[in-house]
A = this chain, B = another copy of it.
Amino acid sequence: MPTNATVMPGRSNRTAVMDGIGRLHIEERPVPQPGDRELLVEVRSVGVCGSDVHFFEHGPRLNVFKPPHVLGHEVSGVVAAHGPRATRPPIGTRVAIEPSRPCGICSLCRGGRYNLCPQMRYLAAPPTEGGFARYLTVPEDFAYPVPAQISDDAAALIEPLSVVVHAARCAEIGVGARVLVSGAGPIGLLMTQVARAIGAIEVNVSDINPFRLSLAETMGATRVIDVSAATPSAVRLEVDVFIECSGNPVALPDGIRCVRPGGVAAVVGMIPTEDATIPLAFMQTREIRLVPTFRFANSYAAAIGLVATRAVRPEAIITGHLPLDRVETALRAGRNDPRSVKTMITAQA
């Protein structure tokens, strides 16, 4: 087995380490060894996700938190070394990294829904550490080469874009669909773009933040609804598909009341509570289905293709860049700055 020095002579793996709720420090770690069929990736760009912010402030939603921990799961980079038996992609290839490591053999994996694998290890979900670092090891099968026209930032944002592509598929947004997106954060804005890119003829976007609504307009929203004035149901909107992207429990029942008979209400935004209240009687006589979506499966190729063909421009949601040393500032930006949507960490800066 090669030593660390063999892999990246003279380099250390600078890493932003969370050592408690709301606490983070920079640490020089040894460069990790890629294992069997793994790659060592030199990280280029890492997006800061709302779930990173939530984890930093409150700890993990689904797992027990045992510090130290590393956040960051929207990652692009360059293949720096091959572990044993790894064969592709070649060293030097720029890649978007899918954070999934499913078991591959349970009935959900075999059935094509590996995002639901009970044995899933997901980048930055404890105990798996994430990508706010200079180096990362990943299974070769989850590193996707990206063409030259996809920037490092865009390659990192293939992850949230895959969330959106998956949700669009689950919600069965089809050609000619009229859509309501609640919440114009990173997911809602990418959803707006994707909905238009796949043939939606009406994309209504609701939020309380005027800056985000104005961004939505630049991304193809056909109508924006400022819910501080009136909610979508109050303005009697009717859509085929409603996609909840805000995580706000009030947005869900309001949006459901905008869905036509036979339509779909998808839920992408993670709610802060265990339970939710829905207008079930309204849904019953209209057969409105509720479709929660979770992460994604089999979506990276499509997401990369959408960016490569310029059908979707993920950089449009970026509102700032910060170097690796300033991850903590980035994690706090989301709460404090109403004009911050998506901050990218430049890992080698």
Q: Is the CB of B198 within 8 A of A199?
A: yes
> Does A32 lie at the interface of the complex (its beta carbon under 8 Å from any beta carbon of B)?
no
> Does A62 lie at the interface of the complex (its beta carbon under 8 Å from any beta carbon of B)?
yes
> Does A289 lie at the interface of the complex (its beta carbon under 8 Å from any beta carbon of B)?
yes
Query: In the complex, what residues of B have CB within 8 A of residue A277's CB?
Result: 275-278
Q: Is the CB of A284 within 8 A of B302?
A: no
Which residues 285-336 of A sit at the B interface, judged by CB distance below 8 A? 285-294, 297-299, 301-303, 305-306, 308-309, 311
Q: Is the CB of A104 within 8 A of B105?
A: yes
Q: Is the CB of B201 within 8 A of A199?
A: no
Q: Is the CB of B116 within 8 A of A286?
A: yes
Name the contact of A270 in the complex, choosing from B196, B284, B291 (C-beta under 8 A).
Answer: B284
Query: In the complex, what residues of B have CB within 8 A of residue A262's CB?
Result: 108, 111, 113, 116
Q: Is the CB of B62 within 8 A of A285?
A: yes
| Contact (A175, B170) CB under 8 Å given A105-B104, A291-B289 | no
> Does A107 lie at the interface of the complex (its beta carbon under 8 Å from any beta carbon of B)?
yes
CA distance A273 to B279 in the complex (A): 9
In the assembled complex, the CB of A155 is this many whole angstroms from the nearest CB of chain B, namely 16
Q: Is the CB of A303 within 8 A of B176?
A: yes
CA distance A252 to B275 in the complex (A): 12
User: Most chain-B CB neighbours within 10 Å: which of A267, A279, A284?
Assistant: A284
CA distance A6 to B69 in the complex (A): 46
Name the contact of A306 in the complex, choosing from B116, B201, B298 (C-beta under 8 A).
Answer: B201
Q: How many residues of A contact B (CB 8 A)?
A: 70
User: Which residue of chain B lies nearest to A194 when distances are taken between CB atoms in the complex?
Assistant: B175
> Does A169 lie at the interface of the complex (its beta carbon under 8 Å from any beta carbon of B)?
yes
Name the contact of A292 in the complex, choosing from B289, B291, B303 (C-beta under 8 A).
Answer: B289
> Does A337 lie at the interface of the complex (its beta carbon under 8 Å from any beta carbon of B)?
no
CA distance A168 to B105 in the complex (A): 24
Q: Is the CB of B284 within 8 A of A267?
A: yes
Q: Is the CB of B175 within 8 A of A301?
A: no
Query: In the complex, what residues of B have CB within 8 A of residue A105's CB?
Result: 104, 141
| Contact (A298, B111) CB under 8 Å given A116-B262, A194-B175 | yes
Query: In the complex, what residues of B have CB within 8 A of residue A292's CB?
Result: 280, 283-284, 286-289
25 A-B pairs with C-beta separation under 8 A: A62-B285, A104-B104, A110-B298, A112-B112, A115-B287, A116-B262, A116-B286, A168-B175, A169-B175, A174-B198, A175-B198, A175-B306, A176-B306, A196-B311, A198-B198, A199-B199, A199-B306, A222-B309, A271-B284, A274-B281, A276-B280, A284-B292, A285-B294, A287-B291, A290-B290
Which residues of A are at the interface with B, using a C-beta cutoff of 8 A? 62, 104-105, 107-116, 118, 141, 165, 168-170, 174-176, 194, 196-199, 201-202, 222, 252-253, 261-262, 267, 270-271, 273-294, 297-299, 301-303, 305-306, 308-309, 311
Listed from nearest, the 4 A-B pairs whose CB atoms lie closest are: A112-B112, A176-B302, A201-B305, A276-B280
